[in-house]
Amino acid sequence: MDLFSNINLRDLFNNFIGYMGFDNPLYVIRAFLDIGIVTWVIYKLIILVRETRAWQLIKGLILIIVATEMSGFLELKTINYLLRSVLSVLAIGAIVLFQPELRRALEKIGRSRFKDLLNFDEASSLRVQTTAVIEEIVKTCTYLASRYIGALIVIERDVKIGEIINSGIELDAQVTSELLINIFTPDTPLHDGAVVIRNNKIKAAACLLPLTDNPSLSKELGMRHRSALGITEVSDSIAIVVSEESGKISFALNGGLTRNLTADTLRKALNKNLLPERDANTKKLLLWRGKTR
């Protein structure tokens, strides 16, 4: 206690600040800038390699580094010597091990604009993913309609429909036309019911939807159309129906149904309702240029 009682915490703090050079406001700004840049670089590197085989290699390297430090702390000299030798070899071999990732990173930096490097393109990346999903849906519906195969696809938006997802078989798969076509092919286990897409992924198939309560609905509309209207009446989801009787594509939103869509009109309807940010940004750009319609 006597030892700690003789320590002046204020003097200790001031000495630390002086040692770090924080006594000048400019140095503080430099320090935050320095730390921020390093943090950003590490974050971007993690994002770059997270979905590649390099991520597994990095985790292995981290494990070896931790084991090396632990063996040194515990004075396990033989193990520490061997691990340090391995690290020395890996330091040279890392260039070969990570050659594809390094090349891709350099190519991405070369293609990127300044705003992309500052990570302002996340919304743009999401729009690209959504656009790709829309194209897969349009391709699926066009194929199924030409072969008179029925389908019901629900796209979740802001209002969550977890109870609908739980009523089906969870998949959590990428949206591809091949998978969607396989799901709706007659006499397959998942063809009966709806596919629900959440966050640009097929969340579940064979889902049960509520039926519409609209008494004035045309009698020629079947259960798929009534289910599509039902889910759009209780949520802001989008529902797409392919009729197996007529081979026609329908689009349901907010309790309304648009029928006899072509591939182009279906694409336009999905783009309009799933890509609002892009449309808003485009309108702002046109206003700024004085070329509004």
- Separation CA 165–CA 147 (nearest Å): 27
Q: Quick one: average pLDDT of 108-113?
A: 60
Q: Quick one: average pLDDT of 273-286?
A: 56
The pLDDT tens digits of the residues spanning 64-81 come to 888 888 988 888 888 888
Q: What is the pLDDT of residue 276?
A: 64
Sheet holding 194-198, edge to edge: 169-174, 201-207, 194-198, 151-155, 238-242, 249-253, 256-261
Q: What is the pLDDT of residue 289?
A: 43
- Separation CA 177–CA 171 (nearest Å): 15
Straight-line distance from the first to the last Cα atom of the chain, in angstroms, rounded to the nearest whole number: 78
The percentage of residues in the chain with a pLDDT greater than 70, rounded to a whole number, is 71
Q: What is the pLDDT of residue 101?
A: 62
Q: Quick one: average pLDDT of 226-234?
A: 93
Give yes or no for residue 122 having a pLDDT over 70: no
Range with lowest mean pLDDT among 35-39, 40-44, 135-139, 184-188: 40-44
Give yes or no for residue 210 having a pLDDT over 80: yes
* Mean pLDDT estimate for the chain: 80
Which among 52, 195, 83 is positioned nearest to 133, based on CA atoms? 195
At 292, the pLDDT band (50, 70, 90 cuts) reads very low
At 290, the pLDDT band (50, 70, 90 cuts) reads very low
Which fold does the domain 124-277 belong to in CATH? Answer: YojJ-like (1 (3.40.1700)
Q: Quick one: average pLDDT of 33-54?
A: 74
* Residue 68: both structure tokens together: 């090396």
* Residue 221: both structure tokens together: 């509309």
Task: Break the chain into its structural domains and give their ranges.
Answer: 2-112, 124-277
Q: Give the number of residues written for the chain.
A: 293
* Dihedral sign for Cα atoms in the order 54, 55, 57, 62: positive
